[in-house]
Structure 1
Amino acid sequence: MPIVVDIDVMLARRKMAVGDLAARIGITPANLAVLKNGRAKAVRFTTLDALCEALDCQPGDLLRWEPAEETGG
């Protein structure tokens, strides 16, 4: 998927555990894992807002776009 989620990067920079972040933003650790592993189909703006507040960052610190690799044919 061309959207890459960098929550792990921000967690490491803030020296914060996944469980702590999940508790701070009010979602389950399992749902946070789905998001941080790039398996989520969507993210609510309220969740993105909570992530940015808890991690003291901008949305662009958490999400980035990478073009999909083209397959030869």
Structure 2
Amino acid sequence: MENTRQQGTHHYVLTLDLPGREMATWTGTVTPGPADTRHDLYVFLREHITADQPRFARANVVFFALESNAL
């Protein structure tokens, strides 16, 4: 399998829940900066998601994974 599209160095999955109303999952790739931590990426992703979907700003985190995108 060949992927012609550039991907980030890490793959993430983030699921947020508004209890009794809505649950959603976001996935993708990202390349952290040399000084970035796992927490930095978590905060970045939450801010990125809630900028586009403000209703999730106070949602509960059901799942968060950040792994190397290499096999």
Which of the pair is proportionally richer in helix?
1
TM-score normalised according to structure 2 size: 0.31
TM-score normalised according to structure 1 size: 0.31
Which of the pair is proportionally richer in strand?
2
